[in-house]
Amino acid sequence: MDPGAVVALALLLTRMYAPLTALATARVEVMSALVSFERVFEVLDLEPLVAEKPDARPVPAGPVSVEFDGARFSYPSADKVSLASLEEVANLDTRGGVEVLHDVSFRAEPGQTVALVGSSGAGKSTIAQLVPRLYDVDGGAVRLAGVDVRDLTAGSIRETLGMVTQDGHLFHDSIRSNLLLARPEAAEEELWDVLRRARLDDLVAALPDGLDTIVGERGYRLSGGERQRLTIARLLLAQPRVVILDEATAHLDSTSEAAVQAALGEALHGRTAVVIAHRLSTVQTADASW
Ligand SMILES: Nc1ncnc2c1ncn2[C@@H]1O[C@H](COP(=O)(O)OP(=O)(O)O)[C@@H](O)[C@H]1O
Ligand SMILES: [Mg+2]
């Protein structure tokens, strides 16, 4: 063989090795994919703790009141909400079952703003999670417009309620699509209108990509206050009949708190609202506090 043929042969041999080794590892990949599939299907097959009744009805039209009537609640223990296949590897927390809410009763009339003030760990966020029926109460009842939430359809509850939490969540997507989640058919002017009312229009207008700026986990970093005002803008766009604010201004400095406060004033106008705070400044304008 001449030198050229030897070099060519060596090169071709190495190129043959790569696919052969890939073929050898294919079995491992198929096996691990099967395991992952098992997990995925296990999650898909999971029975939700909260199920909609077959004869559930939508939230009645018109103004909505929020009512807690002797509500008792304890969080389900970890073994009730965890997956069987994960339990072998994880050491489950066996606590839980401790009653967090003991006989809670209050009422927010339609259009009224009710403040809920208490130290941390008192169960305020738990109350906020029971209104959209993320969990069911163990005793008593939670009612929207006088109807037990267990008799209402999940979709209509979601349409009725708007919530702003301490850490407003944004998806890794443009500002526009984050806003449109609230109302997909909203027009461009409406988006700018809610941004203006949330005191965020100047900031968005100054961004190089404007409404198409990608925000969220790996996108443009909005500050805590800006993120919160964006979730408020989303709330203004959705126009829910009931608004729940869970310590919406707790982590803000006084300048951004003033801006968020102004935006919240817009959000609460004419709506039934439950405002949760551990500082009284947030709730001074409330009609009643519990
Ligand atoms: N997901 C959960 N699972 C179990 N216990 C929880 C959970 N969330 C909160 N708790 C407990 O419920 C109690 C009330 O919490 P929370 O409603 O968050 O209080 P607050 O919002 O008033 O600070 C606390 O003792 C807390 O440890
Ligand atoms: Mg809380």
User: Nearest ligand to the C-alpha of residue 116?
Assistant: 1
Residue 20's CB is within 10 A of a number of other CB atoms, namely 8
Is the CB of residue 135 below 6 angstroms from any atom belonging to ligand 1?
no
Does any domain span residue 77?
Answer: yes
Centre of ligand 2 to C-alpha 124, Å, is: 6
Query: Token pair for residue 66?
Result: 């929020």
pLDDT confidence tier of residue 3, bands split at 50, 70 and 90: very high
Nearest residue (CA) to ligand 1, atom 4: 75
Does any domain span residue 183?
Answer: yes
Centre of ligand 1 to C-alpha 223, Å, is: 26
Does any domain span residue 31?
Answer: no
* pTM of the predicted model as reported, rounded to 2 decimal places: 0.78
Highest mean predicted confidence (pLDDT) among 77-91, 168-182, 245-259: 168-182
Burial of residue 228 (number of CB atoms within 10 Å: 0-12, 13-18, 19+): buried
Does any domain span residue 247?
Answer: yes
Residue 63 is given by DSSP the state -
Does any domain span residue 34?
Answer: no
Any idea which residue has 């803000």 for tokens? 252
The helix (H) or strand (E) run that includes residue 116 is strand 113-117
Report the number of distinct structural domains present in the chain. 1
Is the CB of residue 101 below 6 angstroms from any atom belonging to ligand 1?
no
pLDDT confidence tier of residue 251, bands split at 50, 70 and 90: low
Centre of ligand 1 to C-alpha 170, Å, is: 23
Centre of ligand 1 to C-alpha 76, Å, is: 12
Is the CB of residue 126 below 6 angstroms from any atom belonging to ligand 1?
yes
Residue 282 is given by DSSP the state G
Query: Token pair for residue 154?
Result: 């999940």
Q: Under DSSP, is residue 172 helix (H, G, I), strand (E, B) or coil?
A: coil
pLDDT in tens, 116-170: 988 888 899 999 999 999 999 999 999 999 999 999 999 999 999 998 887 778 8
pLDDT computed for residue 137 by the predictor = 93
Whether the Cβ atoms of residue 269 and residue 240 lie closer than 8 Å to each other: no
Query: To the nearest whole number, what is the mean pLDDT of the chain?
Result: 85
Is the CB of residue 219 below 6 angstroms from any atom belonging to ligand 1?
no
Range 222-243 average pLDDT: 86
Q: What CATH number does residue 219 fall under?
A: 3.40.50.300
All residues at 6 or more sequence positions from 183 whose CB lies less than 8 Å from its CB, including other chains: 190, 237, 238, 239
Q: Tell me the CA distances in angstroms from 63 to 59, 86, 242, 272, one per residue in order.
A: 10, 45, 9, 8
Centre of ligand 2 to C-alpha 169, Å, is: 15
Q: Which residues span the domain enclosing 237?
A: 46-290
∠ Cα 270 259 113 (to 5°)? 25
Does any domain span residue 11?
Answer: no
Does any domain span residue 134?
Answer: yes
